[in-house]
Amino acid sequence: MSEYMNFFARLARESTDRKREFLELGRIAGRFPAASTVENGEISVWCSNDYLGMGQHPRVLEAMHRAIDEYGGGSGGSRNIGGTHHYHVLLERELARLHGKSDALLFTSGYSANEGSLSVLAGLSGNCAVFSDQENHASIIDGLRHSGAKKHIFRHNDCAHLEELLAAADPGQPKLIVTESVHSMVGDIAPLAEIADLAKRYGAATFLDEVHAVGMYGPGGAGIAAQEGLASSFTVIMGTLAKGYGMTGGYVAGPAELIDAVRAHARSFVFTTALPPSVAAGALAAVRHLRDSDDERRRLAENARLLHTLLDERSIPYLSDHSHIVSVLVGDDERCRAMSRLLLQRHGIYVQAVNAPSVRVGEEILRVAPSAVHLPEEIRKFAAALGTIWTELDGPRPARARVSG
Ligand code: PMP
């Protein structure tokens, strides 16, 4: 075998902890929390990011079918060269309006929206100082890395530390603060009013990732900044269409001159095929539905509250009660995987064990995502099943106080 092949053979033998096996799901149309797998029959899903069930919503599916009939399958090209369809343009306008910004730009994923736009917004001026939360998502880290900008990392949601770093920077230098509103793994919510205030005092622009908030929080689903009346204090709001909106794709919304620069320079926008028009049409239907309906948001909040209560009754620790992301702290890779396995085998419940690199070694979690479409009796069954397995397998875990709101 060549040296090259030897390396990967050795890696496969030695790094069994990084070996990934994925559960194959077949969705049952119209009934999202129930899905099927080849081996386990019908199961109940507790780790989907389709938090509001919009991926199965009749209005969304109807819009997609109609767009396929109108425009066919793929988009046929990059946005620059033959791939811009009517629905892309309508969706960008709708998203700009949702966030109260003058323009918005679609990407094929939230990952590429962060990576592409931050590489431009932090990189183009050549002398930008970036202030980035320590726990920011990989797509933010990669975008900032590709920007080449000087990074100052502040401790997670620690505004005193952020201020220290801002105060130490050259007052004449362009500055950008980058953070997430609802954190993807902890589920806590950033202190946006304080961040906005610091940005103002130190003359910094702000980039807010609202991936786990758009559709779910704020008036019309406009996110946490809007909920707190702060949307205009954040220069750029970034979101995904893949979670609350149940589709796929990502976007940035902001002042036209910034979005123009991203449109012209972001490599992950320029050099790739645009989203299929049917996906843009489905996302547009989802954005419009959630702009007008509070039902899904209300049910999501009620379901998250019920789950918090049931976990508290069983003394099962989770990282934050700020949001619908309920990360049960297991703190051990093996135990976490075993809990996930037993939930599936014994109870037909699917919740993925989350380990490194998504969380630190020793801070492994079961990232439980109650959705708007789980029924209260399903939530009770879930908590009872987790309670039994927790009692059986509980062990040492890192001391970590819950972030409470
Ligand atoms: N930002 C955050 C905070 C995320 O958690 C994720 C994905 N989970 C992304 C960006 C990327 O979004 P997408 O899945 O649409 O690529």
Nearest-angstrom CA–CA distance, 184 and 136: 9
Q: What ligand 1 atom has the least distance to the C-alpha of 180?
A: 3
Tracing tokens 């807010």 back to the chain, one arrives at 208
The amino acid occupying position 38 is V
For residue 184, how far is its CA from the centre of ligand 1 (angstroms)?
Answer: 8
Contact yes or no for 196/230 (Cβ under 8 A): yes
The amino acid occupying position 122 is A
For ligand 1, atom 14, name the residue with the nearest CA: 110
Ligand 1: which of 184, 188, 236, 275 to mutate, judged by most atoms within 8 Å of the beta carbon? 184
Ligand 1: which of 240, 247, 323, 358 to mutate, judged by most atoms within 8 Å of the beta carbon? 240
Residue of 239, 322, 325 whose CA lies nearest to 286: 239
Contact yes or no for 196/233 (Cβ under 8 A): yes
pLDDT of 82: 96
Residue of 348, 347, 305, 351 whose CA lies nearest to 324: 305
pLDDT of 154: 98
Looking at residue 18, the DSSP 8-state letter turns out to be G
Residues assigned a catalytic role: 243
Nearest-angstrom CA–CA distance, 206 and 377: 42
Nearest-angstrom CA–CA distance, 225 and 208: 9
Q: What ligand 1 atom has the least distance to the C-alpha of 240?
A: 15
ipTM > 0.95 for the complex: yes
Contact yes or no for 181/189 (Cβ under 8 A): yes
Show pLDDT as tens, one digit a residue, over the chain (405 residues).
799 999 999 998 988 766 777 888 887 767 778 887 777 788 999 999 999 999 999 999 999 999 999 999 999 999 999 999 999 999 999 999 999 999 999 999 999 999 999 999 999 999 999 999 999 999 999 999 999 999 999 999 999 999 999 999 999 999 999 999 999 999 999 999 999 999 999 999 999 999 999 999 999 999 999 999 999 999 999 999 999 999 999 999 999 999 999 999 999 999 999 999 999 999 999 999 999 999 999 999 999 999 999 999 999 999 999 999 999 999 999 999 999 999 999 999 999 999 988 899 999 999 999 999 999 999 999 999 999 999 999 888 888 878 887
For residue 313, how far is its CA from the centre of ligand 1 (angstroms)?
Answer: 32
User: Residues 6 or more apart from 375 whose CB is under 8 A from it?
Assistant: 33
pTM for the predicted model, two decimal places: 0.96
For residue 211, how far is its CA from the centre of ligand 1 (angstroms)?
Answer: 6
Nearest-angstrom CA–CA distance, 258 and 250: 17
Please list the residues that pair with 326 across neighbouring strands: 368
For residue 49, how far is its CA from the centre of ligand 1 (angstroms)?
Answer: 10
pLDDT of 34: 80
Q: What ligand 1 atom has the least distance to the C-alpha of 241?
A: 15
Pocket of ligand 1 (CB under 6 A): 109-111, 114, 137, 139, 180, 184, 209, 211, 240, 242, 250
pLDDT digit string, tens, across residues 121-156: 999 999 999 999 999 999 999 999 999 999 999 999
For residue 400, how far is its CA from the centre of ligand 1 (angstroms)?
Answer: 25
Nearest-angstrom CA–CA distance, 104 and 89: 9
Ligand 1: which of 112, 114, 211 to mutate, judged by most atoms within 8 Å of the beta carbon? 211
pLDDT of 35: 82
Mapped to the 3 state alphabet, what secondary structure does 293-346 carry?
CCHHHHHHHHHHHHHHHHHHHCCCCECECCCCCEEEECCCHHHHHHHHHHHHHH
Q: What ligand 1 atom has the least distance to the C-alpha of 249?
A: 15
What does residue 206 show for φ and ψ, rounded to 5 degrees?
A: -135, 140
pLDDT of 400: 82
pLDDT of 397: 83
Q: What ligand 1 atom has the least distance to the C-alpha of 185?
A: 5
CA dihedral 209, 104, 108, 205 (to 10 degrees): -30
pLDDT of 19: 73
